[in-house]
Structure 1
Amino acid sequence: MKLYTTKLAPNPRRVAWFVAEKGIDDLETVEVNLLAGEHKQPEFRNKFGLGHLPALELDDGTCFTETVAIARYLETVYPEPNLMGVDPKETAIIEMWTRRAELYLANPMMMFVRMTHPALSALEAPVPEVGAYNKAAAEKFMKALNRHLADNEYLAGRFSMADIVGVCGVDFGRLVKYRPPEEYEHLNRWLAACNARPAASAGLK
């Protein structure tokens, strides 16, 4: 299998972290230069349909993108340690929190950074107003997460794909020197605990 990826971007980091948590060591990694537009070249688009990273190419030639889809496949092939649910109920809970973390936290944070970081203008034109709107949306959900994490160590009860998605989204804000509000003490405790895991550095180096 080949994993097409790039350093520092939040979506590729999700899969890199997931792979590291599982100790998967037989994936061939192919670095793709986003700023040079390598993901927009016909060869890449023809292979994967869209210029999205990360992307996984199986040995039989099957190709797909989307981080949760890639994680779901790898979870099936490498079932331990489990990161996506051991039974129907836990799987549903982790899926719920993964979607919440993606839709209400990671996606707004990514748009906030993309719309305000001048270096990313190579990918799209900055729109500060859109960035500010998404920052406010992300912080609104952070407030709700802070309440949830007052009574929960991790988003879905134990460390899972949901935490990886959420933390990678928040951490992307570092590109614009963003830190969550200090009063969200439970959220910041959760971020620190997740980033202290040895696998958390995957995709950052």
Structure 2
Amino acid sequence: MKLYDTPLAPNPRRVRWFMAEKAIDDIEVVTLNLMQGEHKTPEYLGKAGLANVPMLELDDGTCITESVAICRYLESRYPDPNLFGRTPQETAVIEMWMRRGEMLVSLPFMNMVRHSHPAMAALETQSPEVAERGRSSGIGGLKVLDRRLADHEWLAADRITIADIVTFSGLDFSRMVKFQAPEELTHVTRWVAAMRERPAAKAGMPQRPPA
């Protein structure tokens, strides 16, 4: 298998983090340079269908894009530790919080960075209004998370799950523009620190944005 990856983007980071939690080390990683358009070459598009990264290419030639779809496939191939749910109820709760985290937190902050960081102008027709809307919506989403984390160590279960990985990867991307969660969101702050302390966090983006 081959994983087509790029270092800074949050969606590929989800997969790298997921693989690190499971200690998956037998998949070849192919790094693409998005700034040079390597995800838009005819060869890549012929496999992926869209200029999307990450992509997992299976040994039989099947190609899977969409980070959560890739993680679901890897969960079936590498079931331990479980990150998607052990029972129908737990699986549904994890799915719920994954979607909430993605829609309320991850996507807004990703939009904030994409529409405000100077380096992203090469990939995006930037809009300050979209950036500010992402920031405002993301903070609202963090307030939802803070209420949940007041009496839960992790977002969706008694352990880290795909819900935490998806949510945190988007939120942590906001460090590209030096965003920090409001100080009064103490439960979010505790959770963020716990996520950053995990060994798998090293599979994420560099500490400093590119010049």
> Structure 2 counterpart of 1:110, which letter?
M
SS in 1 for 2:29: strand
Q: How many residues align?
A: 205
Within-5 A mapping of 1:91-170: 91-157=91-157, 158-170=159-171
> Structure 1 counterpart of 2:191, which letter?
W
Residue in 1 that maps onto 2:209:
none
Mapped contact 1:5–1:55 kept (Cα < 8 A)? yes
Q: Distance in 2 between matches of 1:93 and 1:194?
A: 20
Q: Distance in 1 between matches of 2:182 and 2:9?
A: 23
TM-fit CA distance, 1:24:
0.6
TM-fit CA distance, 1:203:
3.2
> Structure 1 counterpart of 2:199, which letter?
P
Q: Distance in 1 between matches of 2:79 and 2:96?
A: 20
TM-fit CA distance, 1:81:
0.6
Are residues 1:204 and 2:189 paired? no
SS in 2 for 1:64: strand
TM-fit CA distance, 1:204:
2.7
Residue in 1 that maps onto 2:90:
90
> Structure 2 counterpart of 1:202, which letter?
A
Residue in 2 that maps onto 1:73:
73
TM-fit CA distance, 1:83:
0.5
TM-fit CA distance, 1:147:
1.0
TM-fit CA distance, 1:32:
0.4
**Over the residues paired in the alignment, what is the CA RMSD in angstroms?**
0.9
Mapped contact 1:5–1:32 kept (Cα < 8 A)? yes
Mapped contact 1:115–1:130 kept (Cα < 8 A)? yes
Mapped contact 1:118–1:126 kept (Cα < 8 A)? no
TM-fit CA distance, 1:46:
1.1
SS in 1 for 2:130: helix
SS in 2 for 1:4: strand
Instruction: After superposition, give the CA deviation of every residue in 1:77-99 in whole Å (9 maximum; x if it has no partner).
Output: 00001111011111111111111
Identity of aligned pairs, percent? 57
Mapped contact 1:18–1:71 kept (Cα < 8 A)? yes
The answer for unaligned runs of 5 or more in structure 2 is: 207-211
TM-fit CA distance, 1:194:
1.1
Moved runs in structure 1, 4+ residues, more than 2 A?
Answer: none
TM-fit CA distance, 1:36:
0.8
SS in 2 for 1:35: helix
SS in 1 for 2:3: strand
Instruction: After superposition, give the CA deviation of every residue in 1:3-34 in whole Å (9 maximum; x if it has no partner).
Output: 00010211111100000000011000000001
> Structure 1 counterpart of 2:87, which letter?
D
Are residues 1:176 and 2:177 paired? yes
The answer for unaligned runs of 5 or more in structure 1 is: none
Mapped contact 1:14–1:164 kept (Cα < 8 A)? yes
TM-fit CA distance, 1:104:
1.2
> Structure 2 counterpart of 1:182, which letter?
E
TM-fit CA distance, 1:100:
0.9
TM normalised by structure 1 equals: 0.98
